[in-house]
Amino acid sequence: MSTQDVLKNASTLASYNVLLQVMFRVLTFLLNAFTLRFVSKELIGVVNVRLTLLYSTLVFLSREAFRRACLSGGTDHNWRQVINLLWLTLPLGVLWASLLVCVWLWLLEVPDPHTIPHYGPAVGLFALSALQELLAEPLWVLAQAHMFVRLKVIAESLAMVAKCILTVVLVVSAPQWGLYIFSAAQLVYTGFLVLCYVVYFLRFLGSEEANSKCFPLQRMADLLPARVEGKLLIDWTLARLTWSFFKQSFLKQILTEGERYVMTFLSVLNFGEQGVYDIVNNLGSMVARFIFLPIEDSFYVFFAKVLTRGQHIRQQKQEEVAIAAEVLECLLKLVLVIGLIITVFGYAYSHLALDIYGGSMLSSGAGPSLLQCYSCYVLLLAVNGVSECFVFAAMSKEEVDRYNIVMLALSVSFLLLSYVLTWWAGAIGFILANCLNMGLRISHSLLYIHRYFLSSQWRPLHGLKPSPLVMLALGLSATLTSLSEGMFCCDGGWLLRLAHIAVGAGCLLGVLVTVLLTETKLVQFVQTQLLPRYGKKHT
């Protein structure tokens, strides 16, 4: 597969993933708005913080390192050995599940059974749902490596829709079930994921399409672990790389979910406060998750395929390095502009957004301040995601091992900062700690990228310099929307709120027009590489 084909497929994957994440965020947004009317914020806190943390920790520690290692180098693997390696995620998941369930049941504070019933069974069911999802891991890696761009979208869409429907039905018809409602919905979600992948590969393997693409497997039995004649059971080079990523993933999980670990293990907030924080966190991260995360995941695959891990830039194919540099520059410019827009408009519209979404339960107290701080944090999330996806694709195994030490220091400092800042500033302390740690991670990634391209003619970090006119438009928008908030929002009626919204819409339109007129290279990149209609032509 040529570099241009890889880029086209990665762009298509990013486009579909963005659409998928948009749907996920919108459905979750609507589901939370609906369930807030039927369940308590304490129940929301237990589900969205405590139980979701159990699930995410289990699946992340069980599979993340395997995914990163096995996707390095694209399809140039002995897939029999790779599949054998990937099946190790299941026994590893069982070990993690046994440990984590004991911690969640016996070491953490147990919610009041009268307020939040069925906590013990819910812990077991959430762990079971994580193990159920690990059954599809070999299929997921095969699909990603061979750019099956529609499969992930269809599978996760069907699973999410099924989860939402079941949650709504049970919340309305049997609210007394408590945590059983969300446990059943989670099991349905992971079950649908596995089922969709199995059904797809049952149809695909052995078909004419598979033969024309020279797909390395012929039948479903090939997806089970088996010995490779004349070869080792697994590829030990990949296994060692997996171990390096595993050490790193453990630390990255602490950084990613650090505030939830602090809330869960140190009890700095009660369950009700955790519920409010999680709702605000979901609102604040909505755009970051459905735009930045899919771009990061998809273009990690692109950079990993185009660049030779650990090899000096002059020893690689220069045309491929040139494409990688140009893509990195455009991606940095794209996420920076989006992050700046979110920061400017998020600050002025946080109070209104929370009032519309959850009423006085969210818009009173610390909610608006939390969302305003989070809108600033999104800018750091944007830059960090793209810069790290390049760095992790280009690093050698030795560099990955050295970076683990950096991640360890960041993890320890984050936990300490979270505890201290939360004691000082309440829930806002979590966001401040995240900002400080994200700034350090960005500094490391940008320094690596600068050194990587130092001996070449390419300077992708120029993508972090938006045009002066764009910055001027953003500055004017920040001023006008802040004045509008003071005049129109949010104690008056709907007419004043609509006036505030109209001011923001006009300012946003002005910013977008300025971007279209001044950032022509960025606009061309988005039109040719990211828009879904372009991706469909190359599917």
Q: How far apart are CA 161 and CA 167, in angstroms?
A: 10
Domain count, the chain: 1
Q: What is the pLDDT of residues 484-517, one digit of tens each?
A: 888 877 776 778 888 889 999 999 999 999 999 9
The values of phi and psi at residue 233, to 5°, are -60, -40
Contact 76, 145 (CB under 8 A): no
User: Tokens 């700046």 map to which residue?
Assistant: 340
Boundaries of domain holding 143: 39-218+229-247
- What separation, in Å, do the N-terminal and C-terminal C-alpha atoms of the chain show? 14
Q: Considering the domain boundaries, does residue 520 fall inside one?
A: no
Give the pLDDT mean for 45-49. 89
Q: Considering the domain boundaries, does residue 162 fall inside one?
A: yes
pLDDT at 538: 38
Give the pLDDT mean for 159-180. 88
Q: Considering the domain boundaries, does residue 98 fall inside one?
A: yes
Task: Report the candidate in 310, 454, 322 with the shortest Cα–Cα distance to residue 3.
Answer: 322
Q: What pTM was estimated for this model as a whole?
A: 0.69
Please say if the pLDDT value at position 125 is more than 90.
yes
Q: What is the pLDDT of residues 187-214, one digit of tens each?
A: 999 999 999 999 999 888 888 877 877 7
For all residues of the chain together, what is the average pLDDT?
A: 83
User: pLDDT-derived band of residue 530, with 50, 70 and 90 as boundaries?
Assistant: low
Comparing 13 with 304, the larger pLDDT belongs to 304
DSSP 8-state secondary structure symbol assigned to residue 39: S
Comparing 287 with 410, the larger pLDDT belongs to 410
pLDDT at 537: 38
Provide CB contacts within 8 A for 214, sequence distance 6+: none
Cα 465 to chain centroid distance, Å, stands at 25
pLDDT at 1: 53
User: pLDDT-derived band of residue 534, with 50, 70 and 90 as boundaries?
Assistant: very low
Please say if the pLDDT value at position 148 is more than 50.
yes
Contact 481, 507 (CB under 8 A): yes
Task: Report the candidate in 20, 336, 25, 52 with the shortest Cα–Cα distance to residue 183.
Answer: 52
pLDDT at 535: 42
Helix, strand, coil percentages in the chain from 3-state DSSP, rounded to 5: 80, 0, 20
Q: Considering the domain boundaries, does residue 156 fall inside one?
A: yes
pLDDT at 533: 34
Q: Considering the domain boundaries, does residue 351 fall inside one?
A: no
Q: What is the pLDDT of residues 246-296, one digit of tens each?
A: 877 777 777 778 778 888 888 778 887 788 788 887 777 776 666 787 778
Q: Considering the domain boundaries, does residue 253 fall inside one?
A: no
Give me the helix-helix angle, 468-488 and 318-358, nearest 10°. 10
pLDDT at 134: 95
Q: Considering the domain boundaries, does residue 448 fall inside one?
A: no
Q: Considering the domain boundaries, does residue 423 fall inside one?
A: no
Quote the strand ranges of 307-405, DSSP E.
none
